[in-house]
Amino acid sequence: MSNTYAHSVSASRIFPVDRALLFATSQDMELRPEWDTQIESLGFMPGSRRLEAQAQVVVVDKAGGRSETRYLRYDIPVGITVIQTDTSRFFSAFEGRWDYEDLDGQNTRLTLCYSYNLRFPYSLVPALVTGKIKKKLEAKLGLLFDFMVEENPETGLA
């Protein structure tokens, strides 16, 4: 949160579920691979055993990209903030926020916001990179929506 970022992109979607359920489902590390087909695996780094502020997590995406992150904020059911703690071929600095806004007790707006600085040569084409990230954020929200609303009978919404 102390970094200044050159680029930021966000996407939002309204879910017809209460904020606590959406937060719990989307932040459940065992459920996440069921709905988030963009990732191959995720797990805790040594020294972390549960999601909370300062927890460290490693995520491997389907393309084989690996990132290590640390939770700066884990505020149930309001939101989370993570920062990249390892090197990345794309980012020199990265912060991700997932904010859960209660609209009326039955509907929640989830906003994903990624802020970052790009490494060379990606820094030469920031609009292209930002466009790709925006599409991935929108797709991630769609995957979660489908899981919560259309595929998961436990929510009572299927």
pTM of the predicted structure, to 2 decimals: 0.92
pLDDT at 1 over 50: no
d(CA 13, CA 68) in angstroms, rounded, equals 26
Question: Over the chain, what is the mean pLDDT?
Answer: 93
Assign a CATH topology to domain 7-150. Answer: Alpha-D-Glucose-1,6-Bisphosphate; Chain A, domain 4 (3.30.530)
Percent of all residues in the chain with a pLDDT value above 70, rounded to a whole number: 94
Residue 158: per-residue pLDDT:
47
101-112 pLDDT per residue, tens: 999 999 999 999
- In whole angstroms, what is the distance from residue 126 CA to residue 109 CA? 27
Boundaries of every domain in the chain: 7-150
Distance of CA 139 to the CA centre of its chain: 11
Yes or no: say if 94 and 86 are a contact pair by the CB < 8 Å rule.
no
pLDDT, tens digit, for every residue of 20-31? 999 999 999 999
How far, in Å, CA of 133 to CA of 8, rounded? 10
| pLDDT(87) > 90 | no
The CA distance from 158 to 152, in Å, is 6
Looking at the predicted structure, is the pLDDT value of residue 155 above 90? no
Read off the pLDDT of residues 52-78 as tens digits, 9 standing for 90 and up.
999 999 999 988 889 999 999 999 999
